[in-house]
Structure 1
Amino acid sequence: MFDNLTERLSQTLKHITGQAKLTEDNVKDALRDVRMALLEADVALPVVKEFIGKVKERAIGQEVTRSLSPGQVFIKIVQQELVSIMGDANEALNLSAQPPAVVMMAGLQGAGKTTSVGKLARFLKERHKKSVMVVSVDVYRPAAIKQLETLANEVGVNFFPSQSNQKPLDIAQAAIQHAKIQHYDVVLLDTAGRLHVDEAMMEEVKQLHAAVKPIETLFVVDAMTGQDAANTAKAFNDVLPLTGVILTKTDGDARGGAALSVRYITGKPIKFLGVGEKTEALSPFHPDRVASRILGMGDVLSLIEEAEQKMDRSKAEKLASKLKKGKGFDLEDFRDQLQQMSNMGGMAGLMTKLPGMGQLTQNADMGAAEKNMKQMEAIINSMTPKERRNPDLINGPRKRRIAVGSGTQVQDVNRLLKQHKQMQKMMKQISGKGGLAKMMRGMKNMLPPGMGGGMPRL
């Protein structure tokens, strides 16, 4: 998300550097470009006007401090106003109710509502250690009930059965009563999707809301609809008291207009972003982190959190212990690192969260980089355990066998072995004094092909 906006803003902000003072004249051109970038990103016009007005008011006349260039001052102002437009800080779910806390999910048909229920159930179970029950009151689309049951089984939460011949209110009340008896912490209530905000369906969901009194009412909306997402959420909020928004399909939205418009237009916070199809692809929405990513500053905090959740701690500790004892970094260790990177969203997901790397990913062939990582793993998998532990054994005939087994060429195997030697050398530096600094200096040469580094192309 935000790829196009990040690229445009990066170009714009470069033009304002080198000025002794931020004046109306030298800010005007930059603001015009920022305005166009936001409009092209499908940000709602009232949001653009408010944002540009505040940035202009703060930027004009600010003297350059000793430690910051004018460009840095301007970028800081832009970042702070982006954060302000999106809601200042993350607003977590409010689950402080007499159990079970009822969370109602609503939205238009096709927005990814049922999938979001499954993702949120997994999030609450794994991150907050809550016992979760899910129930569908979508009696108009029987497939929705089966879909939710499948998702519940996948993420390991309880599913309360319902039938298309039942009334939504009866289903909801029975589910909540069952959750009370079984002492569940949270009930996620999946309501029927609607093609548009029609009176009959809205009346049904209003009655349902009045009866079950959910502590959270979340509106699920497709980010790829741009500013229409904000307008739809506002129309829904006019008849139902929403507490927040889940923005789905953000991984396919290169513009980001919805994320920048929803809070301002509706007054309701974005609480989560859907960042992929898998059930773990749900992220809490942090305006400050998103603003940093828009401006190409990375998102290290999210990267750390992701690493803590998805990296295999036992393997990491085993590798650290191995390096500390002076044992080599073998090809099995190399394969583990590739797999860990894949679990964290691959090279693209990793690089966009690193400061200064956002522009690099835009200029790089990320598809080729991801393909190369898979190719490397295939080559290592074609080796015997003995060869992976001791790469020096791999002679000419072994290389030919490995190449055939992995569907690659002998020169590809040679390149992988060379890359492993580089990685092995880097790992030795990490385990020694001042290792991290040495490693960072060598990182550029270890970037995959297409990423601007010196690593040879497979």
Structure 2
Amino acid sequence: MMFESLAEKLQDIFSGLKGKGKLSEKDVELALREIRMALLEADVNYKVVKDFVKSIKERAIGNEVMESLTPGQMVIKIVNDELTNLMGEKEVKLNISSSPPTVILLCGLQGAGKTTHAGKLALHLKKQNKRPLLVACDVYRPAAIKQLEVVGSQVGVPVFSMGDKINPVDIAKAGLAEAKKQSNDVVIIDTAGRLHIDNELMDELLGIKEATNPDDILLVVDAMTGQDAVNLAETFNNQLEISGVILTKLDGDARGGAALSIRQVTSKPIKFIGVGEKLDNIEPFYPDRMASRILGMGDVLTLIEKAQSAIDEKNAKELEEKIRSQSYSLNDYLQQLDQMRNMGPLEDILAMVPGFNSKQLKGLNIDEKDLKRIEAMIQSMTMEEREKPEIIDNSRKKRIADGSGVTTVDLNRFLRQFKETKKMMKRFTSMEKSMKKRGKFNLPFFK
């Protein structure tokens, strides 16, 4: 899980501060020392850590905190503010050209995930009603063009290629001309990488830059390489003047050093993060939301966005009516399982819920096999049994258990859980009706 070890350490530090009625300068100094160590262990750039801790100290030892009724919470607020500032304060969007097509040049070392993220970015833009064109300019890596064509077909985006015998600069020019001809409003250029930075690589990228005049030059770097990713970003920026970064594999980076250092070291924003292997696992980077996640405050806005993209609004309204009328069935339960899976790994979803800290989530492993067993049990039932599970007697249970490869004990446990879920829903709807009569409030999930 992203930032897991750093989040756990920071949340431990703050849980100690929250319990204090008043904070002395010594308390703050001790907390800052622990914060410094946590950041260094997370592979955050040393100079970045030094400046970050200095900024917190200047604010935390002032009257703003010392005279506060809840000084521990004030320190957490200051750290949250400074973390947000460290990562760039707010989301930085793509530079969309006023005269299409917008040209996005992707660069980076071999193995960082440029080709895959070209496809992810294309899909992201397609969902925003853009008409992207992918341009294959990696003529060196074996099967690079084929890989881009496969990715393009998976996301339903056309790929322009001229084989591996043509100069990449000429391919980029021709790709741009093709985009204008076909009315594509975004061109994403996938370039070659190397195992290390060399003059040949940079000369080629500078040639493509000069030929296409890109609106965005995005460096694709692997978050798990930590300070190497930061050093790479600094070098590419010095030579190519990048406009932003796509940080890949952030879902597998428990430390987070690269995400916390890149903006300060290069003055260039992280524009997107890769958070999984699927082609829709790319997110715009929001510094404020990320800071909130790291400190265990959740990320409600991203959670809502994920839910909106995964859940059909019409189905959601129908489901709400079924819950109100107590006609919620196992078919509805099955549909919800599928929608939940579309939102991503459950442990990542729970990390966005305020109140779930990293310790509670540590080691949490929602086994996909458990979900599949539930699906198999429901799918082994008749339509009548799904709508009226109370009719499932012992002989039906044996048939369903045999058909789904589980024991009757497993089936009984699941049916009990479903019954309890329905009871809980009934209590919520009753409570809401009661509150409405009194004119108090609506439960948020029934609004």
SS of the aligned residue for 2:240 comes to coil
Whether 1:264 aligns to 2:256 is no
Task: Measure the CA separation in 1 of the matches of 2:157 and 2:381.
Answer: 40
The question of whether the paired residues in 2 share the 8 Å contact of 1:222 and 1:248 is answered with yes
- CA apart distance, 1:143: 1.0
Spell out, residue by residue over 1:181-210, the C-alpha distance to the aligned partner (whole angstroms, 9 max, x if none). 111110000010111110111111111111
| Structure 2 residue 353 is matched with structure 1 residue 323 | no
Stretches of structure 1 lacking an aligned partner (at least 5 in a row): 442-458
User: Structure 1 residue 70 and structure 2 residue 68: aligned?
Assistant: no
Distance 1:39 1:64, change over 3 A: closer
Aligned-partner Cα distance in 1 for 2:15–2:386: 47
Q: 1:51 — aligned with what?
A: 52
Equivalent residue, structure 2, for 1:393: 391
Query: Which residue of structure 2 aligns with residue 409 of structure 1?
Result: 407
Aligned equivalents of 2:382, 2:69: Cα separation in 1: 55
Give the TM-score, by structure 2 length. Answer: 0.93
Code of the aligned partner of 2:48: V
**Greater shift in the superposed pair: 203-212 or 309-318:** 309-318
Q: Does 1:255 align with 2:248?
A: no
- Note the C-alpha offset of 1:279: 0.7
Q: 2:380 aligns with which of 378, 382, 388?
A: 382
Secondary structure of residue in 2 paired with 1:88: coil
1:26 aligns with 2:27: yes
Shift of the 336–346 alpha-carbon distance from structure 1 to 2, 3 Å rule, reads farther
3-state DSSP of counterpart to 1:134: strand
Local SS of the residue matching 1:111: coil
Aligned position for 1:444: none
2:81 matched residue in structure 1: 80
Q: Say whether the 8 Å CA contact 1:133–1:158 is kept in structure 2.
A: yes
Partners in 2 of 1:115 and 1:61 — Cα distance?
48
Structure 2: how far apart are the matches of 1:357 and 1:378?
A: 30
Report the secondary structure of 2:174's partner residue: helix
Code of the residue aligned with 1:33 in structure 2: it is E
Tell me, yes or no, if the aligned pair for 1:27 and 1:60 is still in contact at 8 Å: yes
Residue in 1 aligned with 2:150?
150
* Contact map agreement 2:68 2:74 (CA 8 A) in 1: no
Larger mean Cα displacement after TM superposition, 148-157 or 289-298: 148-157
AA partner of residue 393 (structure 1): I
Stretch deviating more after TM superposition (372-381 or 418-427): 372-381
TM-score (norm 1): 0.91
> Does structure 1 retain, via aligned residues, the 8 Å contact 2:251–2:276?
yes
Deviation at 1:28, TM superposition (A): 1.2
**Aligned CA distance change for structure 1 residues 68 and 298 (closer, same or farther; 3 Å):** farther
Partner amino acid, structure 2, of 1:154:
Q
Deviation of 1:372 after TM superposition, in Å, equals: 2.9
Please name the residue that 1:41 is paired with: 42
Question: Which residue pairs with 1:454 in the alignment?
Answer: none
- In the TM superposition, 1:171-190 aligns within 5 A as 171-190=171-190
What SS does the aligned partner of 1:151 have?
Answer: helix
Find the counterpart in structure 1 of residue 342 from structure 2: 343
For residue 336 of structure 1, report the CA deviation from its aligned partner.
1.4
Q: 1:321 to 1:256 in 2, by over 3 A?
A: same
Contact 2:223/2:253 (CA < 8 Å) preserved in 1?
yes
Structure 1 residue 313: deviation in Å? 2.4
Q: 1:63 to 1:160 in 2, by over 3 A?
A: closer
Tell me how far 1:77 sits from its aligned partner.
0.5
Separation in 1, partners of 2:194, 2:69:
51
Query: Which secondary structure does the structure 2 equivalent of 1:328 belong to?
Result: coil
Matched residues in 2 for 1:203 and 1:35: separation?
A: 40
**Separation in structure 1 between the aligned mates of residue 15 and residue 359 of structure 2, nearest angstrom:** 15
User: Which deviations, in whole Å up to 9, do the C-alpha atoms of 1:193-250 show, x marking residues without a partner?
Assistant: 1111101111111111111100000000000001211110100111101000000011
2:297 and 2:43 map into 1 onto residues whose CA distance is 22
Question: Could you tell me whether the CA contact under 8 Å between 2:137 and 2:161 is conserved in 1?
Answer: no
2:262 partner SS: helix
Distance (whole Å) between structure 1 residues aligned to residue 220 and residue 314 of structure 2: 37
Aligned length: 438
Which range moved further: 74-83 or 152-161?
152-161
Partner SS, residue 239 of structure 2: coil
- Unaligned 5+ runs, structure 2: 436-440
Q: Any idea what SS the aligned residue of 1:16 has?
A: helix
- State the AA in 1 paired with 2:415: L
Counterparts of 1:36 and 1:426, CA distance in 2:
45
CA drift at 1:430: 4.1
Give the aligned residue type for 2:256.
G
Superposition RMSD on alpha carbons, in Å? 2.0
Q: Determine the C-alpha separation between the residues in 2 that align with 1:241 and 1:25.
A: 44
Q: In structure 1, what is the Cα distance between the partners aligned to 2:277 and 2:102?
A: 26
Residues 142-188 of structure 1 show CA distances to partners (whole Å, capped at 9, x for unaligned) of 41111111111111111112200111011111111111111111000
Deviates more, 1:375-384 or 1:417-426: 375-384
Deviation at 1:387, TM superposition (A): 1.1
